[in-house]
Amino acid sequence: MAGLKLTRESILDGTLHASVRAVLGPDARFATDAERRAQVQAILARAPRPGRIWVFAFGSLIWNPAFHFVERRTARIHGFHRQFCLWSRAGRGSPERPGLMLSLESGGSCNGVAYRLERREAATELDVIWRREMFTMSYRPVWTTAHTPGGAEPAIAFSANREHERYVPGLEDQVIARYLATGAGPMGRCCDYLFDTVAHLRQLGIRDRRLEALEVRVRAHGGAT
């Protein structure tokens, strides 16, 4: 089933969007070019420190950013935690084999990576990120504070859009593990999304005990086969 690679090129040339549209059908609601541009302009207009734009990564942006940046640091944000709470039916899932994707939910804290964008290229690189993360509008971009070894920095983070049809709160871990183990779509297996996230967090010296426990459950469920 896998075959689509998430790269800067597949984002910009429309391959990624076309694949999602093909699976979800013509009735699915997607962000327009005008909406995307307006959202990027709006988030930049609200920047706490204009000209110093960071983006916080909690999932696949850690190990496959697909955008250009000039600095990368480990970071911790407060007021949000990492959670599998978005259905995936077109990327690492399908209508027949749905998976789950990470988002940020309110409460707690989250360790990840912060990327600093080059000031003159911030709008361009945010457009790439928006094409990837905000295509179906299942996230809500917010400004937060990323606490890094070099100090606190304002950063854009993508929290769950609780009004979106993909949003699925409150799933128990055994249910999450089952969907992660069985989900698969044009971009591959959902379990690999979990495994890659856990592995790259470990490489950075970040331990997410809940994700690691989910990894054990998924492998026991047969997600490693």
Q: Which residues are known to be catalytic?
A: 133
Strands 151-160 and 188-189: unpaired
| CA–CA distances in Å: residue 43 to residues 58, 99, 109 | 19, 29, 22
Euclidean distance between CA atoms 78 and 88, whole angstroms: 26
| CA–CA distances in Å: residue 105 to residues 36, 45, 169 | 23, 24, 9
Euclidean distance between CA atoms 15 and 63, whole angstroms: 20
